[in-house]
């Protein structure tokens, strides 16, 4: 008990150290819990987003008549699994909503939209009774009868058709979540560094007390066990408020921010409930604190002393170079992650020493240039701070780099997603060809319509790429995408690589391939492909490579006129700009040609708005994660700097004793703290840029077969610089309160 009392007595003498360590554990737990909750919300958000635009199978009547409640009742009474899906198109800003009946979807089992429960909560989904009420208010509506893909054979007069509210986005969502997982691991690393930095500073300040205990005969092993017990108790006490604060903060950043954005910009977040504490995050945090704080017991003392030697710095450089080579050349994802970890380890190892070396060189140069003693002192003091605050400096560097990568990634995903949607939904309207209808008759009618704008016919089917060894039986299955005619609607597509005049050469018999197929077969514009369509092998030139996000399949794009006779399309539609005509008139013309009473027409602008709206919420949640990481890392540096400055109060007071005015001392403090935080921000820039490149140019191609464009946003760098300056000024302000000199019973504030 006396030994326990000795441990407690230290904190009675130095309560600020206990408060700093407890506060850092609370903040670290808050950071990790907040990231965990926000990541889960982002996953739920993406799930809702995918469900809103995912392709579905529905039952149609082969006579072209629309289905209704009578057909639903008849099919269910026949024992078939179908469920109503009512779309109601409202004008902006409300937009399209979808009414569903979870009870009717119970027969879908694993294939149920929204999972086994069939619950899709939040925009754009609502109960079908509410959607029906909206349709009675005069809004355009359409009823679909959803069916599982493996549905039993339908009665005569019915057929299955596919439909969706937008292009497939599953792989795009998976890519985003994979990058989010990688960044979450970095957040965990930053969290560990922050806790370790405060703990090691406290251990250094308590070393004299430990030495005294050793002299009194207390064994080192017993002291270590008590230190471990101290950490377990302290972490257990601090984790609970950290979890609660993390969930509350996630709720504010998710729900609160979402409500504000919804009011200002009509953007809705699917922010899940933050009532349940993420207990798994608590377990991770307890293990993390023990691991990062007690890892020194596993490292021999001679090894720790060697970490700062010139040989160790050379080893760190070699680690960084090895990581860079592995990331650049790795053929699989696991090695890319391993190489990235090596780079972070090496950079974290080198950064404090490099910054201290540069500060020392500045001091030496200032001496040669005849600068004043305060300038030389400031640079030397800065070098000392970089060495003493190594861990929080590295933690802030990693946090800044992570925030840079998150911001670039989110902005790139958002712009890429918008551009991709704009390309795929360039036409104003989209018309489905009814089952059994002849699309050629509709194409002939559209050609004869005067005043109509650009349009093209879309045919989708299957094809195969004949292998180099030859033989029609050795083919790589691909999706076939054919356009006729090649209209102005596709002329503005962004192509990754192409020959001259690619669209003209496509119409002359060439093909375009998506990025997935190009990477898989190492294709470039100008290569020759043997394409098997139906039973005919066609030799074609590759004229371009285009981006095709959101799906893994290889795809070829060719002109409809180049399709061999006998080709049977799996699905056909028309993309139309009505021009001088009204869309209702075009709809009537095609209904007359196909001899049906109803033609499915979709407004592509509303489809694009829906897809952008439901995916935009996920980007907002990710920005909230980056904001949380940056704010808490800056707070950690502030705490560490304050603790460190406090240990050197006597040193700064000497400046006053030597005759330096109080105003000049405060100025030196401001310069020191601001230079420290700004230098760390500058050191984070190259790491953040490199991490962005890894995410978009290495992880995505290996995981999904396509890459994202690399974009940098220097304006955001300036924002980070402003955060660094503000953090430094706050540290200087806090230190001003610590610089108190007591003399002759008087208190003189500097």
**Picking from 196-200, 274-278, 443-447, 688-692, which range would have the lowest pLDDT averaged per residue?**
274-278
C-alpha span between 535 and 473 (Å, rounded):
11
- Whether the pLDDT of residue 55 is over 70: the answer is no
Bigger pLDDT: 53 or 721? 721
- Whether the pLDDT of residue 706 is over 90: the answer is no
Q: Which two tokens stand for residue 274?
A: 């933050």
Share of the chain above pLDDT 90, in %: 13
- Whether the pLDDT of residue 722 is over 60: the answer is yes
CA dihedral sign, ordered 629, 631, 632, 636: positive
Interval 513-568: pLDDT, tens: 998 899 888 899 999 999 998 888 889 999 999 988 766 778 999 999 889 888 88
**Picking from 28-37, 181-190, 713-722, which range would have the lowest pLDDT averaged per residue?**
181-190
Phi, psi of 430 (to 5 degrees): -130, 125
Is the pTM for the entire model greater than 0.75?
A: no
pLDDT score for 742: 35
**Picking from 202-206, 234-238, 737-741, which range would have the lowest pLDDT averaged per residue?**
737-741
Please list the alpha-helical segments (H only) found in 494-582: 502-507, 515-521
Highest mean pLDDT among 41-50, 608-617, 639-648, 698-707: 698-707
DSSP code of residue 728:
H
The contacts of residue 180 (CB under 8 Å, 6+ apart) are 39, 42, 622, 625
**Picking from 166-180, 195-209, 340-354, 433-447, which range would have the lowest pLDDT averaged per residue?**
166-180
* Strand locations in 552-621 (E): 555-559, 571-576, 601-603
Q: Which two tokens stand for residue 113?
A: 């939209």
Quick one: pLDDT band at residue 510, thresholds 50, 70, 90? very high
- 3-class secondary-structure state, position 746: strand
- Partnered with residue 84 across adjacent β-strands are 145
CA dihedral sign, ordered 309, 310, 311, 314: positive
C-alpha span between 545 and 516 (Å, rounded):
9
Interval 414-457: pLDDT, tens: 777 777 777 878 888 888 888 778 899 999 999 999 889 999 99
C-alpha span between 247 and 102 (Å, rounded):
30
- Whether the pLDDT of residue 673 is over 70: the answer is yes
Interval 128-153: pLDDT, tens: 888 888 888 877 788 888 888 655 67
C-alpha span between 322 and 342 (Å, rounded):
7
Bigger pLDDT: 200 or 729? 729
pLDDT score for 59: 86
pLDDT score for 473: 53
- Whether the pLDDT of residue 317 is over 80: the answer is yes
pLDDT score for 159: 83
Interval 620-670: pLDDT, tens: 666 666 666 667 666 666 766 666 666 667 777 777 787 888 788 788 888
Q: Which two tokens stand for residue 205?
A: 């300040």
Where exactly are the structural domains of the chain?
A: 2-49+171-421+610-749, 56-163, 426-609
Bigger pLDDT: 9 or 84? 84
Bigger pLDDT: 470 or 508? 508
pLDDT score for 277: 65
- Whether the pLDDT of residue 45 is over 70: the answer is no
**Picking from 221-230, 672-681, 698-707, which range would have the lowest pLDDT averaged per residue?**
698-707
C-alpha span between 669 and 131 (Å, rounded):
64
pLDDT score for 264: 29
Is residue 469 within 8 Å of 614, Cβ to Cβ? no
C-alpha span between 36 and 33 (Å, rounded):
5
Interval 560-596: pLDDT, tens: 988 988 888 888 899 999 999 888 899 889 989 998 8
- Whether the pLDDT of residue 367 is over 80: the answer is no
Q: Which two tokens stand for residue 181?
A: 């997982």
Mean pLDDT (the chain, rounded): 78
Write the CA distances from 486 to 442, 489, 492, 517, integer angstroms.
16, 8, 12, 22
Q: Which of 177, 97, 171 is closest to 131 using CA atoms? A: 97
Q: Which two tokens stand for residue 265?
A: 């910009």
């Amino acid at each position: 008990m006396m030994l326990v009392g000795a441990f407690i007595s230290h904190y009675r003498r130095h309560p600020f150290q206990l408060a700093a360590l407890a506060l850092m554990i609370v903040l670290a737990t808050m950071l990790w819990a907040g990231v965990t909750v926000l990541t889960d919300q982002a996953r739920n958000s993406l799930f809702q987003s995918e469900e809103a635009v995912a392709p579905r199978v529905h039952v149609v009547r082969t006579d072209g008549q629309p289905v209704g409640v009578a057909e639903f009742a008849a099919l269910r009474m026949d024992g078939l699994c179908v469920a109503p899906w009512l779309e109601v198109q409202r004008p902006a800003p409300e937009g399209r909503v979808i009414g569903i009946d979870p009870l009717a979807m119970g027969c879908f089992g694993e294939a149920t939209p929204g999972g086994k429960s069939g619950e899709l909560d939040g925009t754009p989904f609502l109960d079908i009774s509410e959607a029906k009420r909206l349709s009675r208010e005069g809004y355009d509506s359409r009823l679909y009868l959803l069916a599982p893909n493996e549905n039993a054979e339908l009665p005569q007069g019915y057929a299955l058709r596919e439909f969706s509210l937008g292009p497939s986005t599953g792989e795009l969502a998976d890519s985003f979540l994979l990058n989010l997982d990688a960044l979450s691991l970095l957040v965990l690393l930053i969290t560990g560094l922050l806790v370790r930095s405060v703990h090691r500073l406290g251990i250094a300040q308590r070393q004299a007390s430990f030495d005294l205990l050793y002299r009194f005969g207390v064994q080192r092993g017993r002291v270590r066990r008590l230190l471990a017990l101290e950490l377990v108790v302290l972490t257990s006490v601090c984790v609970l408020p950290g979890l609660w604060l993390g969930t509350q903060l996630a709720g504010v950043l998710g729900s609160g921010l979402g409500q504000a954005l919804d009011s200002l910009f009509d953007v809705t977040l699917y922010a899940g409930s933050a009532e349940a504490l993420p207990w798994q995050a608590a377990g991770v945090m307890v293990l993390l604190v023990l691991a990062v704080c007690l890892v020194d017991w596993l490292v021999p003392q001679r090894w720790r002393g060697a970490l700062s030697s010139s040989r160790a710095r050379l080893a760190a450089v070699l680690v960084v170079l090895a990581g860079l080579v592995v990331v650049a050349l790795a053929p699989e994802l696991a090695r890319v992650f391993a190489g990235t970890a090596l780079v972070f380890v090496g950079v974290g190892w080198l950064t404090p020493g490099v910054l201290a070396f540069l500060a020392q060189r500045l001091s030496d140069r200032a001496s040669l240039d005849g600068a004043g003693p305060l300038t030389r002192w400031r640079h030397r003091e800065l070098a000392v701070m970089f060495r003493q605050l190594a861990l929080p400096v590295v933690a802030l560097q990693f946090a800044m780099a992570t925030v840079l990568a998150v911001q670039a990634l989110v902005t790139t995903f958002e712009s890429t997603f918008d551009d991709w949607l704009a390309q795929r939904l360039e036409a104003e309207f989209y018309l489905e060809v009814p089952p059994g209808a002849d699309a050629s008759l509709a194409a002939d009618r559209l050609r004869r319509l005067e005043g109509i704008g650009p349009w093209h016919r879309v045919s989708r089917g299957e094809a195969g790429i004949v292998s180099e060894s030859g033989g029609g039986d050795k083919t790589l299955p691909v999706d076939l995408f054919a356009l006729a005619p090649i209209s102005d609607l596709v002329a503005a597509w962004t192509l990754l690589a192409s020959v001259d005049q690619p669209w003209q050469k496509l119409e002359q018999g060439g093909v375009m391939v998506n990025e997935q197929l190009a990477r898989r077969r190492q294709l470039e514009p100008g290569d020759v492909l043997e394409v098997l369509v139906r039973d005919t092998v066609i030799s074609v030139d590759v004229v371009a490579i285009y981006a095709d996000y959101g799906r893994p399949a290889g795809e070829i794009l060719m002109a409809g006129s180049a399709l061999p006779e006998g080709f049977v399309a799996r699905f056909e539609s028309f993309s139309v700009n009505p021009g001088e005509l009204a869309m209702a008139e075009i709809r009537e013309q095609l209904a007359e040609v196909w001899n049906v009473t109803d033609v499915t027409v979709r407004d592509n602008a509303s489809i694009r708005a829906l897809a952008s709206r439901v995916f935009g919420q996920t980007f907002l949640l990710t920005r909230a994660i980056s904001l949380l990481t940056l704010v808490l890392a800056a707070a950690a540096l502030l705490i560490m700097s304050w603790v460190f400055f406090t240990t050197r109060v006597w040193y700064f007071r000497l400046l006053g004793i030597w005759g330096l005015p109080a105003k000049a001392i405060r100025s030196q403090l401001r310069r020191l703290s601001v230079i420290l935080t700004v230098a760390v921000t500058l050191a984070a820039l190259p790491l953040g840029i490199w991490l962005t490149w890894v995410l978009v140019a290495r992880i995505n191609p290996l995981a999904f077969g396509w890459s994202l464009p690399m974009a940098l946003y220097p304006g955001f760098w300036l924002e980070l610089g402003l955060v660094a300056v503000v953090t430094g000024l706050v540290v200087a302000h806090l230190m001003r309160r610590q610089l108190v000199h007591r003399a002759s019973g008087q208190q003189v504030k500097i």
